[in-house]
A and B are shown apart, each in its own frame.
Chain A
Amino acid sequence: DIQMTQSPSTLSASVGDRVTITCRASQNIDTWLAWYQQKPGKAPKLLIYKASTLKSGVPSRFSGSGSGTEFTLIISSLQPDDFATYYCQQYNSYSGAFGQGTKVEIK
């Protein structure tokens, strides 16, 4: 099984900060990596797929990078609407393990 590990688990930041979240895969997944945002009581929302492709309608302050086993989600200037929990997911072949999540809190 492919395991996904995110860090940090929690992140405290202020509006305007640059935020970086890391995701590591236990084996090579090429660029089959997605990032989701989830707010309390809501279903996850797809932000980025293929490691770096922004889904249509997602603000450009979100960006993703990486390949193989190391991936990064960057929020260039944190906005009030961005305080949420973020998950990475590998979707290599037909499976889809998620990372444990990173909660972005208000500092």
Chain B
Amino acid sequence: QLQLKESGPGLVKPSETLSLACNVSGGPFISSGYYWGWIRQPPGKGLEWIGSIYYLGSTYYNPSLKSRVTVSVDTSRSQISLRLSSVTAADTAIYYCARRFRTDPFDFWGQGTLVTVSS
């Protein structure tokens, strides 16, 4: 069964860069049609799509975050990465990675990881 697991620092200082990784196991990572995405959820609030990446590297970002976001893929490690620069308290959230296949929506999600932005 496909599993996605997010990892990274749980605490980031304001103005610094948030860096997370998502490791994929139990299923194909390199496959035509697979997109991998990042979604976040501030505590007690709704979901926000951050960005997506095709396994070959094409990226798509939420316009509201585009200037600060980089999503990348490491096919040798079956890993997707997220970098969010110049963070503020508003970036405190649970960060999820997820998979979508071709024109389908996100069908497999990681458990999420909480990142708090605080000095």
Contact = CB atoms under 8 A, between A and B. Distances in A.
Do A and B actually bind? yes
Interface of A: 1, 32, 34, 36, 38, 43-46, 49, 55, 87, 89, 91, 93-101
Report, as a range, how many residues of chain B touch the other chain. 20 to 34
Contacts of A46: 105-107
Interface of B: 35, 37, 39, 46-49, 52, 60, 62-64, 96, 98, 100, 103-107, 109-112
A46 B104 CA distance: 10
A93 B110 CA distance: 22
A64 to B, nearest CB: 12
Identify whether the interface residues of B are mostly helix, strand, loop, or mixed: strand
Contacts of A96: 37, 39, 49, 52, 105-106
Contacts of A45: 109
Contacts of A36: 47
Given A1-B63, A95-B60, A100 B105 contact: no
7 contacts: A34-B105, A44-B106, A44-B109, A55-B107, A94-B60, A98-B48, A101-B46
